[in-house]
Copies of this chain bind each other. A is one copy, B any other.
Amino acid sequence: MSGQLVECVPNFSEGRDPATIDAIVRAMLGVPDVALLNRQSDADHNRSVITLAGPPAAVVEAAFRGVEMAVELIDLTRHQGAHPRIGAADVVPFIPLQGVTIEDCVRLAERLGQRIWSRLKVPVYLYEAAARRPDRANLENIRRGQFEALAREMGTLAERNPDIGDPVCHPTAGATVVGARSFLIAFNINLGTPEVSVASNIARTIRASSGGFPCVKSMGVMLASRNLAQVSINLTDFERTPLHVVFEAVKREAARYGVEVVGSEIVGLIPGRALEMAAGYFLRFENFRPELVLENRIAAISKPAGVP
């Protein structure tokens, strides 16, 4: 696809009922030119992560329709899950993919935020690059205490007031966080233990906020359905902190508790470059460059080369 391409990864607070999730996805894909890159629902997290891409205006329209459907179908007062959340449509980031800047994505986030408030009466917080206050760059600050605390504190504590809309939660849909950020890798590592404290301790060791890797956000999560603990990771810059380095650190820390890594999962999409880097690390390549990947070279010669 030539021209502008933006990614949007709305997170919805429903990971168990296929009818609800399907309805939300269908609403978004009703917008022409919007492609579904990925969808992933997790019953333990009770959350679905949908990855869309397309031209900016079409993606904003799709995101709005998804939020609208989530507000209609999801009742947050009955929602339980292992992943923190404050809204039926919990968080909606825009990510530049092609021919778009992060500033463009900030404008898309603001446009979507205004529409969510004016049409759905859900108050909106702006985060990451779209944040209007420095403490809201960090999603965790906005989501502290989750929906239940936010519903009590909004309107009472000025610091918890939304960026767009009146300071009162939507009765069933809570609030929504909208923003713009760079591409991140969401990666979960499953541990061979039901002790969530082990996962939480490891998360604390590796994350930036408590002195770990600069590009890592992380928390321990319990996967009740599998009776095992998970280190849930957001890696915001895999070129700076490679995925394989984080993985090896988790493996090493887990071994201190006599615990093994039993598996891992990618949530959403992963750049090929992160996989190339990991393969090169584990296979001990001495000479690896992206130019050695066949597909990268074929793409590069899409115009005939002729004499160099």
Q: Within A256-308, which residues are at the interface with B (CB < 8 Å)?
A: 261-266, 268-272, 274-276, 278-280, 282-288, 291-298, 301-308
Decide if A32 touches B244 in the complex (CB within 8 Å). no
Interface of A is mostly: mixed
Q: A272-B295, A287-B266 are in contact. Are A32 and B304 (CB under 8 A)?
A: yes
Q: Which residues of B contact A34 (CB under 8 A)?
A: 304-306
Q: Is A183 an interface residue when CB atoms closer than 8 A count as contact?
A: yes
> Distance in Å from the Cβ of A302 to the closest Cβ of chain B?
5
Query: A35 vs B297: C-alpha distance in the bound complex, in angstroms?
Result: 9
Q: A279-B278, A279-B279, A307-B29 are in contact. Are A265 and B247 (CB under 8 A)?
A: no
Query: A253 vs B104: C-alpha distance in the bound complex, in angstroms?
Result: 54
Q: Is A255 an interface residue when CB atoms closer than 8 A count as contact?
A: no
- For A294, give its contact among B247, B270, B298, B306 (CB under 8 Å): B270
In the complex formed, the residue of B with least CB distance to A244 is: B283
Decide if B278 touches A263 in the complex (CB within 8 Å). no
> By the criterion of a CB under 8 Å from any partner CB, how many residues of chain A are at the interface?
60
Q: A54-B304, A286-B264, A307-B29 are in contact. Are A271 and B298 (CB under 8 A)?
A: no
Q: A270-B293, A272-B272, A276-B275 are in contact. Are A33 and B283 (CB under 8 A)?
A: no
Query: A190 vs B284: C-alpha distance in the bound complex, in angstroms?
Result: 10
In the complex formed, the residue of B with least CB distance to A30 is: B307
Q: Which residues of B contact A91 (CB under 8 A)?
A: none
Decide if B264 touches A301 in the complex (CB within 8 Å). no
Q: Is A100 an interface residue when CB atoms closer than 8 A count as contact?
A: no
Query: A243 vs B284: C-alpha distance in the bound complex, in angstroms?
Result: 12
Q: Is A249 an interface residue when CB atoms closer than 8 A count as contact?
A: no
Query: A278 vs B305: C-alpha distance in the bound complex, in angstroms?
Result: 31
Q: Is A164 an interface residue when CB atoms closer than 8 A count as contact?
A: no
Decide if B278 touches A282 in the complex (CB within 8 Å). yes
